[in-house]
Every structure is written in C-alpha cells, then in structure tokens.
Amino acid sequence: MGTDGLANAAPSGTTLLEVRDLHTYFPTRRGVVKAVNGVSFEVEAASSLGIVGESGSGKSVMSLSIMGLIEPPGYIASGSVIFKGRDITGLRDAEMRSIRGREIGLVFQEPMSALNPVYKVGDQVIEALRAHARIGRSEARDRAIELFRLVGIPAPEQRVKEYPRSLSGGMRQRVVIAMAIANNPQLAILDEPTTALDVTTQAQILDLVRDLGERLETAVVLITHDIAVVSEMCSQVIVMYGGRIMERATSAQIVDDPKHPYTVGLISSVPSPELKGQRLRAIDGSVPNPLAMPSGCPFATRCPNVMEQCAAMPPTVTLNDRRQVACWLFQ
Amino acid sequence: MLAVPMTNPGQGPLLEIQDLKTHFPMRGNPFSRTKSVVKAVDGVSFTVQPGETLGLVGESGCGKTTLGRSIVRLEQPTSGQVLFEGRDLRDLPPKEMKRVRRDIQMIFQDPKGSLDPRMRVSEIVGEGLAVQDTVPRNDRDELVSEMLAVVGLRKEYLHRYPHEFSGGQRQRIGIARALMLHPKLVIADEAVSALDVSVQSQVLNLLADLQRDFQLTYVFIAHDLSVVEYISDRVGVMYLGKIVEIAPAGELYANPLMPYSQALLSAIPGGPRTRGRQRIALRGEVPSPLDPPSGCPFRTRCWKAQDICSSVPPPLVEQEPGHFAACHFAEAI
C-alpha cells in the first residue's frame, strides 16, 4: 500500500499491456461506425504512453475497449487485449471487475461522473479499497486518509468526511486519482484527466500523476487531445486519426520532427510564439463522417500529399529512428 | 483614478473602460442584514486602440466573460464607464444605443448553444440586418450569402439548419453573424475553445484575415494562454474580477512581473521545458468572489505577500513602458 507497497509492480521492460489489431464497431441505423479500426500497441511496465487525437479519432473508445466498458450495441469486432500475458478481451463482468480498479486504475475527464454525489468521498475510497482487499473498515479508513495525503489533499482527516459537491474540480480529480491508485495498480489509464480543469490546476494534477507514476512504478496511459500535455508527460506518443494509429514515436520526435502528414499538420496547427504574425498551417477540411470513412488511409481526404496508393490502407513501417509510421510516403 | 494603460496616446482609443464594476447580488439569508454580492468585475480599466487585438486571460471565475458581456451590455454594469469612440454607452438614449450595437458585436464560445436550432442560416446571419432594418428584406439573402463566402462557407448553406454543420462550420456561422453589420469592435469570448486543434487553426487564420480586410478591433477572451499569445497585440491577466497585469503580448509572456501572472504562465503545458523556466506551483484555490481578500486579491496564495498586501490594494501602475502590473513587489523572475 502507498509508497512502500510495491509488491504488485512488474519489473520494467516487460510488456504489461498489449493491444492486438483491435476493432471496435458501433452499428447504427445508417451503417456501422468503425470507431477503432485496427489498432495495435504495447505498454511496458512502469512506462508512460500518451495517446493523442482529435474528436472522432477513436482514442476514448479504445480506452473503454481495453477496460471492457463498451456499451452495447457497440462491440469488439476483432482483435485482442492482453494484460500481463492474459487475454482479457471477452472476460465476463465479474472477472473484469477484479482487474479494473485493482490492477488497472481509471481516471476520466469529469470527476463528478466517477464520484457518487450522495456518499462522502472518504467512504467512496474505502469502498474501492474493500472491493478488492480483505481489510476492516477502520484500517481502510486509515488508508483512505493516507491516500488523500499522497495525492496532495490538504487536511485529509476532514476532507474524507466531505461530499463531492463541496470540493473543487481539482480536489475532486485528486479524489478520483486516489481511488484509481488505491489498490496500487500496475497500469493507470487516464482519459482527458485535466481537460475540465483550469491551467494552474492542470499543472498540479499533471505533476501529481507524473510523481505517482514514478514513485509507485505504475505504467501510465494518458489519453488527450492536447499534444502539449502529452509531450510534457509521456516518453512515447501514439497519434490516432479515424480509428487508426498514424504515427508512434518518442514525444521529442513527434513535436520536433513529425513524419506522418497528419502529425505534421497537427503540430503546425498549434499556435506558438514563434508563429506570431504568421498564418498557421492548418489542416484543410474536417474529420470525415464516421459512417463514410475512406476505405484506405482515413486521412486521405485532407492530406496534402495524397496519392493513388492512399485508397488502400498503408501498412505500418518502422523507420531508422525506430518510430512507426502508417503512410505510403515511407514505404 | 488609477493610471489607464494606453499604448498610443496620440490617437483616440476605440474602447475605453474606466473603473468598470459588474456586481451580482445574491439571494442571501433572509435573516441576515448584509446582502452578499458577487463582484464578478471589480474595478477594471483599460483602453483598446483601433485595429488592435487585446487578449484577456484568466481562469474560470476570474470575471473575463462577465467583462466581455458588460462591454456589449449583455450585462448591466454596476458602475464605471464604457466609452466607445469617446462616448459613454451608459448615457446613450435607446435609439443611439441601437445604432452603436451595430459597431460592437460578439462571437460566443459554443457554436451549438449560440445558434438557434430552429432558425435557418439565412435567418441567423441576417438577424442583425432585420433588427437594424437598414436593408430591404429582399436584399438580405444576397448580403448573407456574400458574408458566408467571406467566412469560407458555401452559398448553398443559406437554407440549412445549424445541426447540419460541423463545429468549425458553426463557428464560422457565428462569425458571419457578428460581421454582418460591419462592426468596428468584436468581442470574441472563447471563440475557438470548443474546436479541435486542426479546425481551431483554420478559424484563427480566418479571424486574422477578417481583421485585416475589415479593419476590425478584437477583444479576445480565452483561457488558452498559447492561443491568446499568438493572436493578441496586448494581453491582460484577470484574477478575481481585476486586471492584475497588462502588457504587450511578447513582453508579458517573456517577462511577467506580477506573481499570479508568473504562476499562470508557468503552467502552460509543455511550457517549462520549451521556455526553460521553472513551474510555479500555486497553493490553495481561488477565493470565493463572494468574499474576496482585502487588499490584493492574490495575497492569500502569493509567496511574496507582506502586511501591506492585505491592507493596501496594489494599483495597476506602469512598471516598464507599456507594461502595467498591480503588485507591491512587482519584479521579473
């Protein structure tokens, strides 16, 4: 538990999570939305991976797929999610619950949706603890207070007795993070954890996540639309578009030397002080209707380098600098 | 009166705000004699020169949206002056005010919430023309479709409804509506915040083009510090209803003098790494605007706070040419 309980941690360098050719579909009256359309990646123990994408890129559906939280009629059409060598793709709810919250912690954008408004926040952390470990109430209470202290909530003895509504957005997100790490998980998945927060609060929460990831040796998967957040937090970055991975590289490679035309467009769309007075190199058009995605490369309709081959999905290739790109320009 | 920041005293400012206060009375405890008041905007002064873009940044609850709405008089200011081309809007008779409303327009954050779902694009964009009744009804659609072309939308969209458009297109419709009456001043409140970054850059480019082509003056209100730095000539930082620092954009971001601005700018993600500056972690949270601290609003969280900060509100004074900061201990990091 806490800072000393590292028994749960896997040695770094080993593969903790592996996503293999995952496809998650949502049938609608007007056709099938292929929200995740062939995504593969691995997460090593005690590492940090950022997943960036704009709305409709499939990044959130992917995280829900990993956690077995896809609501019908959505379903995982093919592919698998392997956690610590075990295929957890089709697990039954009860089995999945023993992994969620114990071995994989979850943090979502809106902390209020993860907290029950009618229970005291301390009781909710105690419940999270007791759901996965056989400990008594008073021991769980002590741990909850310790967790609150760990996530930087001042006066934890008082705060455990409060209801979510009397906490600020930043404090609520700290409570959710306390719940996510309560059982010392090996993997934490954070989906837009700071998007609803002010920038100074965001900085505090990001510092906390980075610090906890290092201290508890928890692998962190951070999903966000904000490339600046990812570049600050994660060593490796995956760029998603139209349900597929466009590029995977180190965050320095992504920010300073993007290769895929979509990544190039994304990076040069971000306003920076150096570009003041100049036009931004925007990406033309907008994300295609999810029901009418191009059959080949999903970025083909907006790509400045589009070619004939783009009608077929390009395979992912690994370049000399070890980055992976899915684009015919690099075949 | 405190010093009013001016950049170009030779030319008259387009907009001049003097000690503006917008307070909202709260329905308080019926047994209590003291009425509680939210001081959303609490003594703000600044000027905006013609053709300039003034950015306003601050975190939620700092009063930046109320300030923008007070300028276009969507909120009724409690006291202070809003001078547009030298005339106090508060004194204008209704007829004159209606005339001035053409010159001051607003772009809102949420293009979904600010466009009536039951109105066609022609009605939404042409509503100002109808209200002002300056052009015959038959000519309105022609003018609207010209404006659609200006903001990068096709003429065929004239008879469609808002739900048929993407977020970026809806924001273009909101921009077309704001520009339809050829305003001089546009207040943009979080105008690109709801957009994906690749679409946001398109809209930022459009706003820059329109400023050049129509000689627009912008007050650009946003929480995104990088966007504001990019688009603004000068930037004001707000905290608890007050402007605590205002300076040319490059100067402010490179050399903030007031501790809150320093902490705020250090929190830009990716910032400390690329700018080689230490992040300043703020302690505590923004105090309630119902009960703001005496003296300097930031003193409860400030690492430089002394006795004077709780007794004397620091005036916004010119620390360096064109660079105003409200702090008893203003200095560069």
Cβ <8 Å between A269 and B200: yes
In this predicted structure, the answer to whether residue B273 has a pLDDT above a threshold of 60 is no
Q: Is A202 on the interface with B (CB under 8 A)?
A: yes
How close, in Å, is residue A49 to chain B by CA atoms? 16
Q: How far apart are CA B89 and CA B78, in angstroms?
A: 13
Cα distances (angstroms) measured from residue A80 to each of A22, A38, A307, B55: 6, 10, 32, 48
Domain presence at residue A36? yes
The pLDDT of residue B271: 61
Q: How far apart are CA A314 and CA A317, in angstroms?
A: 9
Domain presence at residue A193? no
Q: How far apart are CA A111 and CA A193, in angstroms?
A: 8
Residues 6+ apart with CB under 8 A from A210: A48, A233
Q: How far apart are CA A255 and CA A248, in angstroms?
A: 12
Q: Looking at the DSSP assignment, which residues form a beta bridge with residue A75?
A: A25
The pLDDT of residue A49: 96
pLDDT in tens, A239-287: 999 999 999 999 999 999 999 999 999 999 999 888 888 889 888 888 8
How close, in Å, is residue B131 to chain A by CA atoms? 33
How close, in Å, is residue A181 to chain B by CA atoms? 23
Nearest Cα to Cα of residue A190 among A179, A198, A199: A179
Cα distances (angstroms) measured from residue B226 to each of A193, A307, A324, B55: 20, 34, 29, 11
Q: Is B223 on the interface with A (CB under 8 A)?
A: yes
Q: Is A232 on the interface with B (CB under 8 A)?
A: yes
Which residue is closest to B231 within chain A, CA to CA?
Answer: A276
Q: Which residues of B touch A231 (CB under 8 A)?
A: 269-270, 273
Cβ <8 Å between A272 and B230: yes
ipTM for this model: 0.85
Q: Which residues of B touch A232 (CB under 8 A)?
A: 269-270, 272-273
Q: How far apart are CA B33 and CA B30, in angstroms?
A: 8
A-B Cβ pairs (cutoff 8 Å, strict): 108
Nearest Cα to Cα of residue B316 among B301, B302, B298: B298
Domain presence at residue A136? no
Which residue of A208, A280, A283, A303 to mutate against B (max B Cβ within 10 Å)?
A: A280
The pLDDT of residue B9: 46
Answer whether B71's CB lies under 8 Å from B28's CB: no
Which residue of B57, B201, B211 to mutate against A (max A Cβ within 10 Å)?
A: B201
Token pair, residue A183, equals 């059982």
Q: Which residues of B touch A287 (CB under 8 A)?
A: 166, 196
Cβ <8 Å between A203 and B267: yes
Q: How far apart are CA B88 and CA B140, in angstroms?
A: 31
Give the CATH number of the domain where residue A58 resides. Answer: 3.40.50.300
Would you call B59 helix, strand, or coil by DSSP? coil
Please count the structural domains in chain B.
1
Domain presence at residue B250? yes
Q: Is B231 on the interface with A (CB under 8 A)?
A: yes
How close, in Å, is residue B10 to chain A by CA atoms? 24
Strand extents, DSSP E, A4-140: 15-28, 31-44, 48-52, 75-83, 86-87, 104-107
For residue A73, cis peptide bond before it (omega within 30 degrees of 0): yes
Give the CATH number of the domain where residue B318 resides. Answer: 3.40.50.300
Answer whether A21's CB lies under 8 Å from A39's CB: yes
Cβ <8 Å between B225 and A199: yes
Q: Which residues of A touch B266 (CB under 8 A)?
A: 203
In this predicted structure, the answer to whether residue A25 has a pLDDT above a threshold of 50 is yes
Measured between CB atoms, which of A204, A232, A287 is closest to B269?
A232
Q: Which residues of B touch A272 (CB under 8 A)?
A: 226, 230
Would you call B143 helix, strand, or coil by DSSP? helix
Which residue is closest to A153 within chain B, CA to CA?
Answer: B284
Domain presence at residue A116? no
Q: Is B200 on the interface with A (CB under 8 A)?
A: yes
Q: How far apart are CA B158 and CA B246, in angstroms?
A: 41
Cβ <8 Å between A279 and B205: yes
Domain presence at residue B166? no
Q: How far apart are CA B169 and CA B186, in angstroms?
A: 19
B248 phi/psi in degrees, rounded to 5: -55, 145
The pLDDT of residue B5: 47
Q: How far apart are CA A109 and CA A196, in angstroms?
A: 7
pLDDT in tens, A158-178: 999 999 998 888 899 999 999
Cβ <8 Å between B59 and A226: no
Domain presence at residue B179? no
Element (H, E) at B106: strand B104-107
Q: Is B92 on the interface with A (CB under 8 A)?
A: no
Q: How far apart are CA A150 and CA A203, in angstroms?
A: 17
Measured between CB atoms, which of B60, B201, B250 is closest to A269?
B201
In chain A, what percentage of residues exceed pLDDT 90? 67
Domain presence at residue B270? yes
Residue B9, domain extent: 1-54+61-85+231-333
In this predicted structure, the answer to whether residue A2 has a pLDDT above a threshold of 50 is no
Cβ <8 Å between B201 and A225: no
The pLDDT of residue A45: 93
Domain presence at residue B15? yes
The pLDDT of residue B1: 40
How close, in Å, is residue A16 to chain B by CA atoms? 27
Answer whether B27's CB lies under 8 Å from B194's CB: no
Q: How far apart are CA A231 and CA A209, in angstroms?
A: 14
Residue in this structure with the two tokens 């499939």, named with its chain if needed: A58
Please count the structural domains in chain A.
1
Confidence of residue A310 (pLDDT cuts 50, 70, 90): very high
Q: Is A273 on the interface with B (CB under 8 A)?
A: yes
Mean pLDDT score across all residues of chain B: 89
Residues 6+ apart with CB under 8 A from A267: A227, A254, A255, A258
Domain presence at residue A266? yes
Q: How far apart are CA B59 and CA A87, in angstroms?
A: 44
CB B29: neighbour CB atoms within 10 A?
10
Answer whether B160's CB lies under 8 Å from B144's CB: no
Measured between CB atoms, which of A228, A269, A280 is closest to B269?
A228
Element (H, E) at B236: strand B234-239
Residue A24, domain extent: 15-101+224-330
Residues 6+ apart with CB under 8 A from A286: A302, B166, B168, B169, B198, B199
Answer whether B84's CB lies under 8 Å from B76's CB: no
If you write DSSP's letter for every residue of B4-49 in order, what string do you get? PP-S-TTS--SEEEEEEEEEEE----TT-SSPPEEEEEEEEEEEE-
pLDDT in tens, B297-324: 999 999 999 999 999 999 999 999 999 9
Q: Mean pLDDT lowest for which of A187-191, B27-31, B52-56, B288-292?
A: B27-31
Nearest Cα to Cα of residue A40 among A100, A88, A101, A81: A81
Q: Is A235 on the interface with B (CB under 8 A)?
A: no
Domain presence at residue B153? no
Which residue is closest to B57 within chain A, CA to CA?
Answer: A199
pLDDT in tens, A48-89: 999 999 988 999 999 999 999 999 999 999 999 999 999 999
Q: Which residue type is seen at B231? A: I
Q: Is B179 on the interface with A (CB under 8 A)?
A: no
In this predicted structure, the answer to whether residue A314 has a pLDDT above a threshold of 80 is yes
Q: Is B181 on the interface with A (CB under 8 A)?
A: no
Domain presence at residue B263? yes
Q: Which residues of B touch A225 (CB under 8 A)?
A: 196-197
In this predicted structure, the answer to whether residue B8 has a pLDDT above a threshold of 70 is no
Confidence of residue A11 (pLDDT cuts 50, 70, 90): low
Residues B212-229, mean pLDDT to the nearest whole number: 94
The pLDDT of residue A148: 93
Q: How far apart are CA B266 and CA B276, in angstroms?
A: 10
pLDDT in tens, A200-220: 889 889 999 998 999 999 999
pLDDT in tens, A100-123: 888 999 998 888 888 999 999 999
Domain presence at residue B304? yes
CB A291: neighbour CB atoms within 10 A?
11
